């Protein structure tokens, strides 16, 4: 196991009604609050009204609305301007990964005089950020309990991650009932995203980070159990609670620490969502089985088979190659059972941009350091397997 530092300082308020803590938490940072949110789902499901009821009498609330899925650099710039114009003390992000990610970039860029894109290209330039508090409305990215933020530069057609210790939320409210109104496709996409986050570290070189892999398996087993229940009954409290907490634990360092090397699938997916505005979890569901098929070999069969035996409860007959193939089928079948379109053609993506997307994925994802190193040709082949 490699050396690591683990310092996740986000205070979590978990459970129904825990939003009541917001005023006390925000008070620590000041009176001027930037309230960031997305396209309006929180107005329909009543969360917006709850936040305003709690804050309007004691805080100066400035609204930063219309943050889009796959948040853009333009939205970040809009948020920075609002912070400067209104002398903002703290940002309250209410939404899913897109709102929280945009908020993190705004919080950091508030103190940077140059173009915020510089911070995306080089996170070492992030030295200070406004404090961030979040209220989660969609499980999947884990952004509520990590430092990461993924921003899209539409002019350059780039979707890249940034983050620093100061962009981690100070506090997060996770009320599982807030997830009740999620459309089925977003519930499904979030479930896949959670699985993908632990898979990315599960498939790294070296087998001695045993505890991390066991936690990863527990996260996957949890999602496989509860995602179908949440789809069947959107108001299933235990399902929403377990999916939400699994999502936070999947990407807060617990399963990724102590394992070096690059992730394999995310950078390949980020190209799809940059070029086609695809939902992140949908892109991952299409890519993961194809990537596993592409990397399957005598060297990788044992690890893929272990995943199938421990997570998908396949029987261990000693034939690792055969069990690995069954694992890939089980994974694909599970994603499809959630109602996700499993081919690129079903989401309107042709092979037109495979070459350029593959080139960028390899470059920005450092895929030569992945579990099985991937070249541009490998990534094109993976896209082709998804057609
Ligand atoms: O915009 P609104 O109206 O809020 O609607 C959103 C949006 O349309 C809707 N939604 C969210 N909560 C809802 C709801 N609708 C009804 N009821 C609710 N309770 O769902 C749609 C998708 O929301 P979004 O925030 O875009 O989804 P998600 O949480 O999956 O975030 C995706 C973004 O996060 C990045 C992705 O690349 C993508 O840009 N990621 C961030 C990571 C991180 N910060 O650590 C890691 C991930 O791997 C990922 O890359
Ligand atoms: Zn993800």
Do 85 and 226 lie in one domain? The reply is: no
Mean pLDDT of 86-96: 98
The token pair at 311 is 């997570």
Residue 71 maps to which CATH number?
A: 3.40.50.1970
Give yes or no for residue 90 having a pLDDT over 90: yes
| Ligand 1 near 101 CB (within 6 A) | yes
Domain residues for the domain of 143 are 11-178
DSSP 244-296: HHHHHHHTSSTTTTT--S--SSHHHHHHHHHHH---HHHHHHHHHHHHHHHH-
Q: Is the CB of 200 under 6 A from ligand 1?
A: no
Instruction: Give nearest CA residue, ligand 1 atom 15.
Output: 182
Among the three residues 153, 178, 203, which one is the final residue of a domain in this structure?
178
Q: Is 41 in the pocket of ligand 1 (CB under 6 A)?
A: yes
**0.95 cut: is pTM over it?**
yes
Whether residue 186 has pLDDT greater than 90: yes
Residues 149 and 285 in one domain: no
Q: What does the pLDDT read at residue 138?
A: 98
| Residues 215 and 247 occupy one common structural domain | yes
pLDDT at residue 337 greater than cutoff 90: yes
**39 — phi, psi (to 5°)?**
-85, 5
User: In testing the pocket of ligand 1, which one of 41, 132, 163, 172 has its CB within 8 Å of the most ligand atoms?
Assistant: 41
* Residue 236 falls inside a structural domain: yes
Judge whether residue 106 has pLDDT over 90: yes
Identify the nearest ligand to the CA of 248 by its number: 1
**3-state SS, residue 173:** strand
Average pLDDT over all residues of the chain: 97
Q: Whose CA is nearest to atom 50 of ligand 1?
A: 150
Neighbours of ion ligand 2 (CB under 5 A): 193
Note whether residue 6 is domain-resident: no
pLDDT of 28 above 90: yes
Quick one: pLDDT band at residue 202, thresholds 50, 70, 90?
very high
Q: Is residue 190 part of a domain?
A: yes
The alpha carbon dihedral of 150, 154, 155, 158 has a sign of positive
Ligand 1 contact via 251 beta carbon (within 6 Å): yes
- Give the distance (Å) from ligand 1 centre to CA of residue 5: 28
Q: Of 114, 146, 178, which closes a domain?
A: 178
User: Does any ligand 1 atom lie closer than 6 A to the CB of residue 184?
Assistant: no
Report which DSSP code applies to 72. Answer: B
- Same-domain check for residues 156 and 188: no
For 341-368, what is the mean pLDDT?
97
Ligand 1 probe mutation, 65, 97, 99, 143, most atoms within 8 A of CB: 97
- Say if residue 221 is in the same domain as residue 117: no
Percent of the chain surpassing pLDDT 90: 99
Q: Is the pLDDT of residue 207 over 90?
A: no
234 and 109 together in one domain: no
Secondary structure of residue 88 in the 3-state scheme: coil
Ligand closest to 180 (CA) is 1
The stretch 360-370 carries a mean pLDDT of 97
Q: What is the pLDDT of residue 237?
A: 98
Atom 4, ligand 1: residue with shortest CA distance: 38
Q: Average pLDDT for residues 298-308, to the nearest whole number?
A: 97
- Which ligand lies nearest the alpha carbon of 181? 1
**Interval 322-351 mean pLDDT:** 98
Residue 242: inside a domain, yes or no? yes
Among 120, 147, 178, give the residue marking a domain's end: 178
Considering the domain architecture, whether residues 262 and 353 belong to the same structural domain is answered as yes
Q: Same domain, yes or no, for 306 and 189?
A: yes
pLDDT at 80: 98
Query: H/E element holding 93?
Result: strand 90-95
Look at residue 121 and tell me if it is in a domain: yes
Asked whether 292 and 370 are in contact (CB, 8 A), the reply is: no
pLDDT at residue 205, as a whole number: 87
Q: Domain total for the chain?
A: 2
Cα–Cα distance for residue pair 180/226, rounded to 1 Å: 14
pLDDT digit string, tens, across residues 150-160: 999 999 999 99
- Whether residue 283 sits in one domain with residue 305: yes
Residue with the smallest CA separation from ligand 1 atom 40 is 141
CA–centroid distance, 318 to ligand 2, in Å, is 33
Same-domain pairing of 225 and 365: yes
Does 130 share its domain with 238? no
Nearest CA to ligand 1 atom 42: 141
């Amino acid at each position: 196991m490699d050396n690591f530092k683990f310092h996740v300082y986000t205070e979590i308020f978990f459970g129904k009604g825990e939003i009541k803590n917001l005023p006390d938490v925000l008070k620590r940072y000041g009176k001027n609050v930037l309230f960031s949110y997305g396209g309006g789902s929180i107005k329909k499901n009543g969360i917006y009204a709850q936040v305003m009821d709690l804050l309007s009498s004691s805080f100066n609330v400035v609204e930063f609305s219309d943050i889009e899925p796959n948040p853009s650099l333009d939205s970040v710039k809009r948020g920075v301007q609002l912070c400067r114009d209104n002398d903002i003390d703290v940002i309250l992000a209410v939404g899913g990964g897109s709102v929280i990610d945009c908020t993190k970039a705004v919080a950091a860029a508030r103190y940077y005089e140059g173009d915020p894109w510089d911070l995306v290209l080089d996170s070492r330039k992030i030295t200070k950020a406004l404090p961030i508090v979040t209220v989660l409305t969609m499980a999947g990215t884990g952004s509520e309990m990590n430092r990461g933020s993924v921003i899209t530069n539409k002019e350059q057609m780039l979707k890249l991650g940034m983050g620093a210790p100061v962009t981690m939320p100070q506090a997060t409210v996770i009320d599982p009932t807030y997830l009740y109104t999620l459309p089925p496709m977003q519930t499904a996409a979030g479930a896949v995203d959670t699985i993908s986050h632990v898979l990315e570290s599960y498939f790294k070189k070296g087998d001695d980070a045993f505890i991390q892999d066991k936690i990863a398996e527990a996260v996957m087993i949890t999602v496989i159990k509860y995602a179908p229940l949440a789809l069947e009954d959107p108001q299933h409290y235990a399902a929403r609670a377990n999916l939400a907490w699994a999502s936070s634990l999947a990407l807060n360092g617990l399963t990724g620490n102590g394992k070096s090397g690059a992730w394999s699938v995310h950078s390949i997916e980020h190209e799809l969502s940059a070029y086609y505005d695809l939902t992140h979890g949908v892109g991952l569901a299409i890519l993961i089985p194809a990537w596993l098929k592409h990397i399957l070999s005598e060297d990788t069969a044992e690890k893929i088979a272990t995943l199938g035996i421990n997570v998908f409860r396949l029987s261990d007959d000693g034939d690792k190659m055969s069990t690995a193939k069954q694992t890939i089928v089980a994974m694909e079948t599970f994603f499809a059972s959630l109602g996700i379109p499993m081919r690129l053609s079903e989401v309107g993506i042709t092979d037109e941009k495979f070459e350029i997307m593959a080139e960028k994925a390899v470059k920005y994802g450092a895929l030569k350091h992945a579990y099985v190193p991937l070249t541009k040709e490998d990534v094109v082949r993976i896209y082709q397997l998804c057609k």
